[in-house]
Structure formats: C-alpha cells, structure tokens
Amino acid sequence: MRQRKDMTMSVPFFIGVCGGSASGKSTLAQRLTTAIGEPHACLLELDCYYRNRENIPPEHRGNYDHPASLDTALFVHHLHELRAGNPVEVPCYDYRLHRREPGNPLAPHPVVVVDGCLLLALPEVRACLDVTIFVDAPADLRLARRLQRDVAERGRTLESVLEQYLTTVRPMHAQFVQPYLEQADVLIDNQRGLDIAFATLLEGLRQLAHPKLSPWLP
C-alpha cells in the first residue's frame, strides 16, 4: 500500500459516484470509502437529503428519482461547509414517515466520497465535485437487481417494484441519469461483478494521476 501523508489537508477532495438505480454505485462508493479508510475518507449520500413529503411539489410527490424530491440547497451548503473544513449534520431520512429526522455529525476528511443517482444532473452539485465516476449497467440487469433487492430486503411485492420502475425509475433514468454518462471522468461497466468493477474504478482514478487524490488511493 502506498505511503499516506499526514491527515492534515488544506481542502477535502470530493469524488462523486453516480449511476442508475441498482447499478452498483452505492456499493462501490462504500467500498472505495472503506479502501481509503478512516480517518482519511468519509461517505456522504445524496439519498439522505430527500425533502419531507409535504415539501415536495404535488406533481412530483412519490417520485424519488426526480430532482424536485431533493433538498439540493442544503446538500450543496453541506458540501461547501465540508470544503471549508467545517463539520455538518447529515439528516437521516425515514422512508416509513417520508420525513427527515435529526441526523449524524460528519467531520471533514481529506477525501469525501459522494454517492447519488442524480449528482451530475444537479449543476450546483456537479460544480463541487473534483472527480466524477459513472457506474453503468444494462437496464435489464439493473431491473433484475432492483427486484431482487426490494423483494428480499425491503419486503416489497413484485408488482409494486415493477410499477415504480415503469412509472418513475425508468423515465427519470432516461431524463436525469443516462444523458450525463459522457460527462463523467471515469466510466465503470458493472456487468462482470463488483470485484472487477472496483478494480476498474481504482485503475481509472490512478490514471487521472490527480496530485491531491493519488496519495490517498490504496
């Protein structure tokens, strides 16, 4: 493993990991954070910043794949605070109540891994990211993974998962996720398993040879 510098770092380095639902982006973001390790890296998830249901415009209520469902202003404020070296309180979203609850403090780290489907579709967020990674996978594979996850782990019915996919997930992916694939600095094809995808991710980051990131990579 490469020698790492002292933890002190003037400005945190932000790595954005985006991609479609069930593409594997969140798993890879978590794996990257773990690989860099504490106290060098932390994970910040855009999904924590959903608005309370009553604060979402009526025409978008229930559509968690549309930017209007997110408190983008708060998210961007927290990104700026972390860059300035200040801790933030990350909210915790309760999916049963459709409300944000008091969250957990997050201190700035030398590397901040930012995870979210819509990162590149939000210009204010995109401007805060130093490097962007897009995790791609075919639609049929993403749907199969989503079905398996939501039915087995979240107690959803097959019918409800398919209805949500067809009414919101699929059209929002076409509008707000897939068009930004070409804008990412690193593109990951996650069809052959997470180990291969993660190795490709690390190699892509190393090839960028960014002087502020390279010392922290495993």
- Per DSSP, the residues of 12-71 read PEEEEEEESTTSSHHHHHHHHHHHH-TTTEEEEEGGGGBPPGGGS-GGGTT-TTSGGGB-
Name the nearest CA neighbour of 22 among 207, 173, 160.
173
Task: For the chain, list the domains and their CATH numbers.
Answer: 14-206 (3.40.50.300)
pLDDT for 21 equals 93
Among all chains, which residue has been given the structure tokens 């398919």?
Answer: 162
Among all chains, which residue has been given the structure tokens 């979240």?
Answer: 154
pTM of the model as a whole: 0.92
Task: Give the span between the Cα atoms of 74 and 125, in whole angstroms.
Answer: 11
pLDDT for 151 equals 86
pLDDT for 94 equals 87
pLDDT for 37 equals 96
For residue 211, what are the contacts with CB-CB under 8 A and spacing of at least 6? none
Question: Could you list the pLDDT tens digit for every one of the 218 residues in the chain?
Answer: 333 444 445 689 999 999 999 999 999 999 999 999 999 999 999 999 999 999 999 999 989 999 999 999 999 999 999 999 999 999 999 877 888 988 899 999 999 999 999 999 999 999 999 999 999 999 999 999 999 988 887 778 989 999 999 999 999 999 999 999 999 999 999 999 999 999 999 999 999 999 999 999 99
pLDDT for 102 equals 85
